[in-house]
Amino acid sequence: MLQLIADGFVIGSVIALGAIGVTLVYSILRFANFAHGELLTWGAYLAWTALLGFAAVWGPMEPLGPFSFGWTLLASLGVAAIATAALALLVDLLLFRQLRRHGSAITLIMASFGAALVLRNLLQFIFGAVPEYYSREIQVAIRLVPRDVLGGLRITPDQVFVLGLTAVSVVGLHLFLTRTTLGKAMRATSINPQLARVTGIDVDRVIRATWVIGAVLAAVAGVFSGLTVQLRPQLGLDLLLPLFAAAILGGIGSVYGAVAGGLIVGLAESLSVPIVGAEYRAATAFIVLIAILLVRPTGLFGERP
Amino acid sequence: MPDLLGLLSYGTFFLVFVTIYGLVVLGLNLQWGFTGLFNVGVAGFVAIGAYTSALLTAPDYPDQIGGLGLPIPLGWLGAMVTSGLAAFIVGVAALRLRHDYLAITTFGIAVTLQLVALNAQGLTGGPFGLQFIPKPFAGVIVDNLAWNLAYLAMAITLLGLSYVALERLVRSPWGRVLRAIREDETAAESLGKRAFRFRLQAFVIGCMLMGLGGALYAHFVGYIAPEDFLPILTFQLWTMLIVGGSGNNRGAILGTVVVWALWTLSGNVLRELVPAEHQARAATLQVVLIGLLLMLILLVRPRGLLGEEAVVSRHMKDPAGEVQEE
């Protein structure tokens, strides 16, 4: 039981970081971005590429303390975050920006659906379909709770790292959105775009910031997923439904809602495994989605229906 | 003469697929083209139809539910009923809300159905799928080409019937309400039209056509597996509609022919040019090409090849009574 909850929090961290991007794009650019999952995949594979690059220059990665990875993975994470942000800005420039000028929200969704397929297949063309790993080091899991208390609890140092960095990212984003001018401009645009424009907010700058933040968090989430599970071209596609479920559960536009929603969806997936079996865990997100749409479509923290 | 026969055989095969996809795209056109409903789970509804019809009509499967051995038309009817039922459930949950919630929900049901198809071995046969799906009039027509031609004739008849029915439907008062809701829901509601109900009706009817398309596919190929209904199928069908022109049933069928021709042609070219060991990788490029085609159409010619007709009703033939373009 405790083990399932801990696992749920680890998956939930990945979902939460991805869902923040979905909810920000949804509330500021006003469309459901089906290509967001691909940003996670690209982030994960870009980090892997950078890691190989570092290994070619400085030799194989030395594990850092109890972790399965060394400092080069942290550096690769930084490279991947920047590169993924550039990718998101490029897709926006070539596609979404053109459609925003004369398209409706629904055309944007369809375009994002097409962009998702192009990005995923391009990635599979470049990297192949075989699963990859950042590190093949075997980790010793730390036993936090003995086996006779509620089934016990073991956690690997990598999982602790994932939980810790997720918390740091969320706190950092909170400070950004509440303390900086750009963060406040983003919140204003999300609440009322016309009024924000009239007040002199540079909406294009806000949109760029939205993509950068969403993409950076997506890269981090993708690397976490690659670290705790494995790297696959379908990584982002498989996470897309949980991301949407988390964003809607939390209430569209609410960053804290997305985090809470991500953790709840992660827990629900993890806790459903003993009931429905591991093969149906992805369907749990769908059940959560249907339930929230029927009971409270505005989500936990949302205002707009 | 063998070449000509080969060409005829290939052409028949190609046209049967065009007809089946055309049926599905007509259903999608009713949802998106006329009502503005964004269905991302087309492959899921096609799969429901295919699996239902297979389970109803196939001979008894060992260790499995289904295989009732019912007559084939009953299987097709069942396919439409179950697809319609699934659409009803999804519609009730999502159609009252913002339009993009439908997109997310239909995506969800397609993902979930894919999981069921892969894992519910006792019902769907798991990754191996369902085999021995009976072929209609296989007892009467033995020759392969003749059978394909007969199936094509039947499929075209069904497509023609659906086309005529849909044309009448969208030109009827009911169809005009759909467009009114699509253009301005508040205005339509203020005239006493309950948008939710009309949307739900259009969504269910569209999905029933998708189910029928799935059933036709299953009985033509005789074998279905989860990988026949991946998101790429949804994407191909969407591209067909957008290329042909949404809101125009003739455009929907034209788009189906054009996109399926491009798809099979690019597939053949890749098979010829790329050595066997790289083909799986080259196939991903094929998807990239179709994706770029869709985005290009959205950017350059969002109306598609044949756009929506301006005249909705035969009572409004004078040029002054034009309906605004999207």
SS3 call for B4: helix
What's the ipTM?
A: 0.85
Q: Work out the minimum CA distance from A162 to partner chain B, whole angstroms.
A: 27
Note whether A282 contacts B112, CB cutoff 8 Å: yes
Is there a domain that residue B319 lies in? no
**Full domain range(s) for residue A31:** 2-295
DSSP-derived 3-state class of residue B310: coil
**Rounded to the nearest 5 degrees, what angle is found at the Cα of A233, between the Cα atoms of A227 and A238?**
80
B97 domain-assigned: yes
B225 and B235 share one domain:
no
Q: Tell whether A121 is within 8 A of chain B (Cβ).
A: yes
Distance between CA atoms of residues B281 and A127, nearest Å: 9
Of residues B109, B118, B291, nearest to A114 (C-beta): B291
- Whether residue B97 and residue A305 make contact (CB cut-off 8 A), yes or no, is yes
Choose the most confident range, by mean pLDDT, from B116-120, B152-156, B302-306, B316-320. B152-156
In a domain, A284, yes or no: yes
Residue B153 pLDDT > 80: yes
Distance CA A240, CA A248 (A): 12
Tens-digit pLDDT profile for residues B203-242: 999 999 999 999 999 999 988 999 889 888 998 899 899 8
Predicted confidence at residue B326, as pLDDT, reads 40
pLDDT surpassing 60 at residue B109: yes
B38 shares contact with chain A (CB less than 8 Å): yes
B-chain CB neighbours of A240 within 8 Å are 107
Regarding whether B195 and B127 lie in a shared domain, the answer is: yes
Report the gap between the CA of B107 and the closest CA in chain A (Å): 8
| Alpha-carbon span A40 to A38, nearest angstrom | 5
Total domains in the fold of chain A: 1
Same domain flag for B219 and B245: no
Residue in A105, A110, A282 closest to B238 by CB: A110
- Distance, CA of B241 to CA of B248 (rounded, Å): 9
Same domain for B221 and B240?
no
Q: Which residues in chain A (145-184) have CB-CB distances under 8 A to chain B?
A: none
Residue B324 has pLDDT above 70, yes or no: no
CB contact under 8 A, B40 and A297: no
Estimate to the nearest angstrom the gap between the alpha carbon of A273 and the chain centroid. Answer: 22
Cβ-based contacts of B291 with chain A (< 8 Å):
114-115, 117-118, 121
Which position has the higher pLDDT, B323 or A176? A176
Percent of chain B past pLDDT 90, that is, above it, reads 30
Q: Torsion angle, CA of A251/A255/A259/A264, rounded to 10 degrees?
A: -10
Closest residue to A95, CB basis, from B93, B99, B295: B295
Query: Is the Cβ of A103 closer than 8 Å to some Cβ of chain B?
Result: yes
Q: Point out the residue among A32, A95, A283 whose CB comes nearest to the CB of B103.
A: A32
**Total number of domains constituting chain B:** 2
Name the residue among B212, B241, B201, B200 with its Cα closest to residue B45.
B212
Domain endpoint, select from B206, B229, B252: B229
How far is it, in rounded angstroms, from Cα B323 to Cα B311?
7
Q: What is the distance between the alpha carbons of residues A287 and B43, in angstroms, rounded to a whole number? A: 19
* Residue B321 pLDDT greater than 50, yes or no: no
Task: State how far the Cα of B269 lies from the Cα of B179, in Å rounded to an integer.
Answer: 41
- Choose the closest CB to B291 out of A34, A118, A297: A118
> Within chain A, what is the greatest distance between any pair of CA atoms?
63
Give B34's DSSP letter: I
Give the one of B111, B116, B287 whose C-beta lies nearest to A121's C-beta: B287
Q: Nearest-CA distance from B166 to chain A in Å?
A: 23
Contacts with B325 from chain A: Cβ below 8 Å: none
Q: Using CA of residue A279, residue A282, residue A288, residue A291, what is the dihedral sign?
A: negative
Residue A156 lies in a domain: yes
Which of B204, B229, B254 finishes a domain? B229
Q: Which domain holds residue B39?
A: 16-229
Please tell me whether residues B121 and B35 are part of one structural domain. yes
Residues in B 271-310 with any Cβ partner in A closer than 8 A: 280-281, 284-285, 287-288, 290-292, 294-295, 298-299, 302
Please tell me which of A11-25, B90-104, B137-151 the model is most confident about, judged by mean pLDDT: A11-25
- Give the rounded distance of the alpha carbon of A32 from its chain centre: 14
The answer to whether residue B316 sits within a structural domain is: no
The phi, psi pair for B96, rounded to 5°, reads: -75, -15
Mean pLDDT estimate for chain B = 85
**Does residue B323 fall inside a structural domain?**
no
Choosing among B32, B100, B300, which should be mutated to test the A contact, i.e. which has the most A CBs within 10 A?
B100
List the single best residue of B38, B39, B109, B284 to mutate versus A (max A Cβ within 10 A).
B284
Give domain status of residue A110, yes or no: yes
- The answer on B251 and B209 residing in a single domain is no
CB contact under 8 A, B295 and A111: yes
- Residue A48, domain CATH: 1.10.3470
In order of B34, B231, B257, the CA distances from B113 in angstroms are 26, 11, 28
Q: Which pLDDT band holds residue B29 (cuts at 50, 70, 90)?
A: very high
Amino acid residing at B151 = Y
Return phi, psi of residue A142, to 5°.
-90, 130
Which of A89, A51, A41 has its CA nearest to residue A219?
Answer: A41
DSSP H helices, A134-280, are: 157-179, 181-191, 193-198, 203-228, 235-250, 255-276
Whether B133 maps to a domain, the answer reads yes
Write out pLDDT tens, residues B32-84.
888 888 898 999 999 999 999 999 988 877 777 777 778 888 989 999 999 99
Kindly state the tokens that stand for B314: 């035969």
Contacts of A231 (CB under 8 A, 6+ apart): A44, A45, A48, A131, A132, A133, A134
Mutate to test the interface with A, among B185, B270, B295, B324 (most CBs of A within 10 A): B295
Smallest CA–CA distance, residue B120 to chain A, in Å, is 10
CB–CB of B118 and A279 under 8 A?
Answer: yes
Would the pLDDT of B20 be above 90?
A: yes
Assess if residue B251 is contained within a domain: yes
B39 and B181 part of one domain? yes
Q: Cα–Cα distance between A140 and A226 in angstroms, integer? A: 18
Chain B residues touching A245 at Cβ < 8 A: 108
**B130 and B264 assigned to the same domain:** no
Label residue B28 by pLDDT band (50, 70, 90): very high
| Cβ-defined contact of A121 to B281 (cutoff 8 Å) | no
| pLDDT in 10s for each residue of chain A, 305 residues | 788 888 899 999 999 999 999 999 988 888 889 999 999 999 999 999 998 888 888 877 777 777 777 788 888 999 999 999 999 999 998 888 888 887 666 778 888 888 998 999 999 888 888 888 887 776 777 777 777 777 778 888 888 888 999 999 999 998 998 888 898 888 888 888 888 888 888 888 899 999 999 999 999 999 999 888 888 998 988 899 999 999 999 888 888 889 999 999 999 999 988 888 778 887 888 888 888 888 888 888 765 54
> What is the predicted pLDDT for the residue at B1?
52
Q: Per the CB < 8 Å rule, is A113 touching B280?
A: no
Nearest CA in chain A to B38: A106
CB A215 within 8 A of CB A265: no
Per-residue CA distances from A115 to A4, A38, B204, B246, B291 (Å): 35, 9, 28, 20, 7
Domain shared by B222 and B240, yes or no = no
Helices (H), chain B: 2-28, 42-57, 72-94, 99-119, 121-124, 144-171, 173-183, 185-190, 195-221, 231-244, 249-273, 279-300
* pLDDT at res. B322: 46
